[in-house]
């Protein structure tokens, strides 16, 4: 049990719940119909967060990153679930001889896959027109342990329905952007450990397929909107019910916990 700002008892750890259905299409400054953001609070149901006013009708990846930076810089404990891979299988680290450390991985990946730079498509890096993706490729047969357990596709599985490869390869540099600016003020789960300190905000990897079947979509919602809504709504309900704490502490032996701090883990996978 925690105390709220007025000293009253509270059964929830967080006060805001953000769900992001990501998109790896086009450039980081392109407005993307598939990039959706929903947020719930302790008092209010999940509602769509619209992009800042301007020429873009839809969110850009750059705008989402800056919105998260502003939101997570506030003292309100917030948990953010993002629908893309946060790291790669341990086989990738071994193959490319990268130290099994997430911060080392983020910086190394960004050097080779600068997908946060203006005018850069993921496909530009894949085709050798930007960055040096050829030096940091993976195999679609390589899957993280968490992906194996929930039967999710590999982060290297491009060009198939339900693929998160483009989202992952375009989203990881923005995790580095947030990591460098927010530091230890935000807990990147599980890389900073399975236990999120009280009053600390957290960013987690979410997989809408695990939660969205519980919440029927309205006729007005697109699939991307429903995915983002489901993440935010589930986080809110799970925090109130205690299910979130169970999800944040999957039953992993010490060796698996160490591996999860390198490969990452999808919230809700046992």
- Tens of pLDDT, residues 135-185: 999 999 999 999 999 999 999 999 776 679 999 999 999 999 999 999 989
What is the C-alpha separation between 143 and 212, in angstroms, rounded? Answer: 23
pLDDT of residue 3: 41
Distance between CA atoms of residues 52 and 54, nearest Å: 6
What is the pTM for the complete model shown? 0.94
Q: How far apart are CA 122 and CA 131, in angstroms?
A: 10
What the block records as the tokens of 105 is 């991985």
pLDDT tier at 2, thresholds 50, 70, 90: very low
Distances (CA, A) of 145 to 24, 110, 173: 23, 23, 22
Report d(CA 14, CA 238) in Å as an integer: 11
Q: What's the pLDDT score for residue 1?
A: 42
Answer yes or no: is 36 within a domain.
yes
Domain that holds residue 201: 19-263
Domain contains 13 = no
Q: Does a structural domain hold residue 192?
A: yes
The number of domains in the chain is 1
Q: Does residue 9 sit within a domain?
A: no
Q: Answer whether residue 268 is part of any domain.
A: no
Q: Which of 117, 109, 113 is nearest to 30 (CA)?
A: 117
In a domain? residue 2: no
Are β-strands 2-3 and 9-10 bridged in parallel, bridged antiparallel, or unpaired? antiparallel
């Amino acid at each position: 049990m925690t105390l709220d700002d007025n000293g009253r008892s509270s059964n929830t750890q967080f006060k805001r719940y953000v769900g992001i259905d990501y998109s790896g299409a086009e450039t980081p400054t392109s407005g993307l119909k598939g990039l959706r953001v929903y947020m719930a609070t302790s008092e209010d149901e999940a509602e769509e967060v619209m992009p800042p006013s301007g020429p873009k009708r839809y969110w850009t990846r750059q705008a989402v990153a800056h919105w998260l930076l502003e939101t997570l810089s506030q003292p309100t404990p917030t948990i953010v679930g993002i629908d893309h891979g946060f790291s790669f299988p341990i086989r990738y680290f071994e193959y490319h001889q990268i130290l099994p450390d997430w911060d080392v991985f983020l910086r190394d990946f960004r050097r080779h896959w600068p997908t946060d730079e203006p005018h850069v498509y993921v496909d530009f890096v894949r085709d050798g027109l930007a960055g040096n993706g050829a030096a940091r490729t993976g195999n679609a047969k390589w899957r993280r342990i968490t992906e194996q357990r929930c039967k999710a596709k590999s982060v290297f599985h491009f060009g198939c329905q339900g693929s998160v490869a483009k989202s992952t390869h375009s989203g990881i540099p923005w995790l580095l952007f947030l990591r460098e600016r927010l530091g230890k003020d935000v807990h990147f789960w599980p890389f900073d450990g399975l236990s999120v300190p009280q009053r600390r905000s957290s960013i987690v990897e979410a997989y809408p397929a695990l939660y969205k079947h519980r919440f029927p979509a309205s006729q007005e919602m697109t699939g991307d909107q429903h995915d983002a809504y489901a993440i935010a709504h589930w986080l809110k309900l799970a925090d109130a019910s205690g299910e979130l704490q169970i999800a944040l502490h999957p039953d992993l032996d010490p060796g698996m916990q160490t591996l999860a701090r390198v490969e990452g883990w999808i919230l809700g996978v046992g």
